[in-house]
Structure 1
Amino acid sequence: MVRKHSGFVGELPAGAAQRLDAGRSVFKDIGADDADWEPTEIESMCMNCHLNGTTRLLLTKIPFFKEVIVSSFSCANCGWSDTEIQSAGRIQDQGVSYTLTVKSKQDLDREVVKSDSATTRIPELDFEIPPFTQKGALSTIEGLLDRAVSGLEQEQPIRRATDPDVADKIDEFIQRLKKLKDVEEEFTLVVEDPSGNSFVENPVAPQKDEALAVTRFKRSAQQDVLLGIRADDDDFDEEPAGNDIDAMRNEVLVFNTNCPECNAPASTNMKMVQIPHFKEVIIMATNCDSCGHRTNEVKSGGATEELGTRITLNITDQSDMTRDVLKSETCAILIPELELEVGMATDIKDLTVSKNPFISGDSCSTDRMQKLREFGEKLDKVMSGEMKVHFVLDDPAGNSYLQNVYAPDPDPELTIEKYTRTFEQNEDLGLNDMKTDGYQEEEEK
């Protein structure tokens, strides 16, 4: 076994290999009653004294997040220790960016999952931690600040001997970082991860967190290369011919992918469909034969709409639960009566109640669990028709749809509004920097 900076190259741990041979999942769900809930111990070299120490590995699944490898190293010879969390799941379809405005010391207690591909920034200090310069970690906002301070202090003795002026400037910057923990003034923390595998806690979930903005983005070719999912010399400029597009409208295309739940090989079906009284869309559906997981998504088959769309349905009885819904990746779901706003969720109850690791488990407060339980009960009443609410689809790209059961006549319970997007919404959609006028003329030149 080779060890380098708490990373591992070589065979699977023995316990994991045995579970794989037995046909069971290598990654186990978190559970206190599991008899096999034991870490794998490996003798490995200490990077501090170069003698042998012990590494403990735990392969597990974090609900609502992904599969991870939790490792902890300790050396009995010199007392050095190290912990790390490594991604063991798939790279997500889109990157994710979290922008948090830290207003109080309570915000410093927010839990953060930061992968090694994430970039961390504090704009007020012009401070940035580039990707792949730190190991992945499960920490808090305060822990991220402490980790940054520790990293800067590590080489200070050498700097003071070789370049005192630089050491003095870094000492001054370290004090500014430490002062952030007093939260005398608001500051902004940005965690941007092209792999989509980082996470910042929303302590008021399922309600919208006014201090936290979450955006999804399409990776650039350079980011794909950085993540190792594209070769440097790939040709990205080829476009499908017109006949190929026409053929897509008449058949279901099937291509190989990996299951987002268990990472087993799966097939994704894609079909271009004309929705009556709506538009042409691309429907993609993935079914996993290994774990039974099913997922689907809808993408626009045409250009981005000039205006955003807000669809409001007044839910009056249980029959409204059977209406067809097409929710694009840019659409937010709102239920004002429940003070609920969810960005990219497709199953609100599972997302906010059943599968959120930061609002369940032993570390969750009793008060938070009680609020979550009450919220789940309200959702059950909405689905059974006992509670009347307004269901809102807010899509700045205008690519979402909610069935009008009276079509082509107006639906008395359904309201569709068109609105002008804000600059920030256009920025999220990548429209502010998009140039279409005179493009052909410039290409010919």
Structure 2
Amino acid sequence: MCSVDQKPVFRDLSADDPDPEVTEIESLCMNCHANGTTRLLLTRIPYYKNVVIMSFSCEECGYENNEIQPGGAFAEMGVRWKLRVEQQADLNRQVVKSDYTCVKIPEIDLEIPAQSQKGEVTTVEGIISRVIAGLTQDQDSRREQDPEAAVQIEGYVERLQGLRSLDTRWTLLLDDITGNCFVENPEAPRKDPRCDRTEFKRSKDEDHTLGIFTRDEVSDEPLLPPADPETGCYDQLERDEVMSFNTNCPDCNAPADTNMKLTHIPHFKEVVIMATNCDACGHRTNEVKSGGGIEDKGVKFEVRVAGKEDFSRDILKSETCTMSIPELELEVGGRALGGRFSTAEGLLRATADQLAGSPELCGDAPAMARGSLDRFIAKLNEVLDGERAVTLVLDDPAGNSYVQSLAEDPSTPDDGVKITRYERTYEQNEELGLNDMKTEGYENS
């Protein structure tokens, strides 16, 4: 158990914590091969994630080296970004790359393989500049030893300079199996007009590359017994039982307990509710997982929110369900709010709280970005105060989301909800990991 006196593993650097825990390790100096010292500090970057700062110094030769590595867990799924670079503002977008980010520019046949560069925080123009610097660093000696190759590189650098000066439109592709890659959206909280983000399920080989193995791969004993083929529920998760297991806080990585319970939503299906409460940093998470598998068809709900009665409508939003409000030009991905069982008011209020704590409203963010978010949050508050009617659109390709009907007879259609079931596309099946299995009726377009 974690006591309230225990400090988080990853802590903010502040005056309230004047003595951060720094670990010193004797290390070999790669410059003079004497013994130096590596200092490790586990800390947090506000509004980003936990990181490990490493600082090496050698007293013999004076060599120093500083490095930063992510201290959090890998995301559950990989991520792909496709940015259409058309304006000067696109070149100034911030980009977060991990060690496992693969960068491609199809127009000039450029590919930077994963694990060939260290992770960094840069810009779109910075990626091009780093490639140019790498290609031109030995050009003087190359002109003497291999003039033909030097001419070819100079021609390729000119093409790169053309991308940086926007002589033509081009596309930047980022593929990251860790899911810890990010491209700034200057139009936030509105949907990015020139950038698409898609998630994908990692293959077994990609999991092994990251050092992720299932319990069955490292042990002969399965983590949980197989699910009942009729109910789809695990034997341990009986209806009236709450299962508790040890885990780590997703915020500070301190030991914590997660409670898990199986419950049934009337007129829908069984779901698993999980709640984690960290005594070290006070972080709380509530998450809902579907107790069954993926449905045969996707489902789309269009919920009209115009009065107090609509605010009280129960909604189950799975982590594969995207949410949008056309009247406010808002669209958020499924993992932005996670899986949760709440009400229409609860979803809207959670969206407002998440935007209010975004980095665009703090620090040295541009005034334009802060003003845009302030105006949007004000409109969202008007909706919560009942002064503005909106349509809440929930689109779940897995079909595991649910909206309560307010009609007295459950079999009677609810005028406030429009339900559409649809066949998934090939891309949606790929995101859900269904294309690895035998599926019929879908073609790769």
Q: In the TM superposition, what are the counterparts of 1:406-417 in structure 2 within 5 Å?
A: 406=407, 408=410, 409-417=412-420
Number of the residue aligned with 2:376: 375
Structure ranking higher on relative contact order (CA contacts 8 Å, 6+ apart): 2
Distance 2:142 2:16 in 1: 50
1:336 counterpart = 2:339: no
* Structure 2 equivalent of residue 234 of structure 1: 217
Question: Which residue, out of 292, 307, 311, partners 2:297?
Answer: 307
Residue in 2 aligned with 1:213?
A: 196
CA distance in 1, matches of 2:130, 2:19: 29
Using the TM superposition, name which of 172-181 and 196-205 deviates more: 172-181
The CA deviation string for residues 61-118 of structure 1, in whole angstroms up to 9 with x for no partner, is 334421124678999xx99998754212222223222221111111011111212222
Deviation readout 1:316-343 (Å, 9 max, x if unpaired): 2244333322211221111111110011
Which position in structure 2 is the counterpart of 1:390?
A: 391
Q: How does 1:82-97 map to 2 (within 5 A)?
A: 84-97=67-80
The Cα shift of 1:134 comes to: 1.4
**What pairs up with 1:19-418 in 2 under 5 angstroms?**
24-25=7-8, 27-29=10-12, 60-69=43-52, 84-156=67-139, 164-230=147-213, 234=217, 240-241=225-226, 246=233, 247-250=235-238, 251-343=241-333, 344-346=335-337, 347-354=350-357, 356-357=358-359, 359-406=360-407, 408=410, 409-418=412-421
Q: Distance in 2 between the 1:179 and 1:53 partners?
A: 45
Return closer, same or farther for 1:156/1:264 CA change in 2, 3 Å cut-off: farther
Letter in 1 for 2:107: E
Deviation for aligned residue 1:162: 5.7
Quick check: 1:225–1:232 contact (8 Å CA) kept in 2? no
CA RMSD of aligned residues (A): 4.1
Three-state SS of the structure 2 residue aligned to 1:124 is helix
Q: Which moved more, 1:332-341 or 1:412-421?
A: 412-421
Q: In structure 1, how many angstroms separate the alpha carbons of the residues matched to 2:169 and 2:57?
A: 37
Change (3 A) 1:28 1:243: closer
Question: Is this contact kept in 2: 1:111–1:138, CA < 8 A?
Answer: yes
CA distance in structure 2 between the partners assigned to 1:235 and 1:80 by the alignment: 41
CA distance in 2, matches of 1:301, 1:129: 41
In 2, the alpha carbon distance for the partners of 1:158 and 1:274 equals 72
Distance 1:208 1:362 in 2: 23
Matched residues, number:
413
Question: Shift in Å at residue 218 of structure 1?
Answer: 2.5
Q: Is the 8 A contact 1:84 1:135 kept in 2?
A: no
**Alpha-carbon distance in structure 2 between the residues aligned to 1:208 and 1:50:** 52
Alpha-carbon deviations, 1:228-266, whole Å to 9, x = none?
Answer: 233899369979535595515525444433221111223
**SS at 1:345's partner residue?**
helix
Contact 2:143 2:150 in 1 (8 A): yes
Letter in 2 for 1:424: E
The whole-number CA distance in structure 1 between the counterparts of 2:202 and 2:219 is 13
Equivalent in the alignment of 1:441: none
- The 8 Å contact of residues 269 and 286 in structure 1, kept in 2 or not, is answered as yes
Alpha-carbon shift at residue 397 of structure 1 (Å): 1.8
Cα deviation per residue 1:290-321 (whole Å; 9 max; x = unaligned)? 22322233333434333321112111224433
Once residues 145 and 93 of structure 1 are traced to their aligned partners in structure 2, the CA distance between those partners, rounded to angstroms, is 30
The whole-number CA distance in structure 2 between the counterparts of 1:47 and 1:314 is 64
* Maintained 8 Å contact 1:333/1:392: yes
Which consecutive residues of structure 2, in runs of 5 or more, have no partner in the other structure? Answer: 338-349, 441-445
2:213 is paired with a residue whose SS is coil
Cα distance in 2 between the residues matched to 1:233 and 1:301: 21
Unaligned 5+ segments in structure 1 are 1-21, 438-445
> Are the equivalent residues in 2 in contact too, given 1:311–1:393 (CA < 8 A)?
yes
CA pair 433-94 structure 1, distance change in 2 beyond 3 A: closer
Alignment deviations for residues 174-195 of structure 1 (CA, whole Å, 9 cap, x no partner): 3322321112222221222222
- Inter-partner Cα distance in structure 1 for 2:216 and 2:228: 27
Superposition deviation, residue 59 in structure 1: 5.6
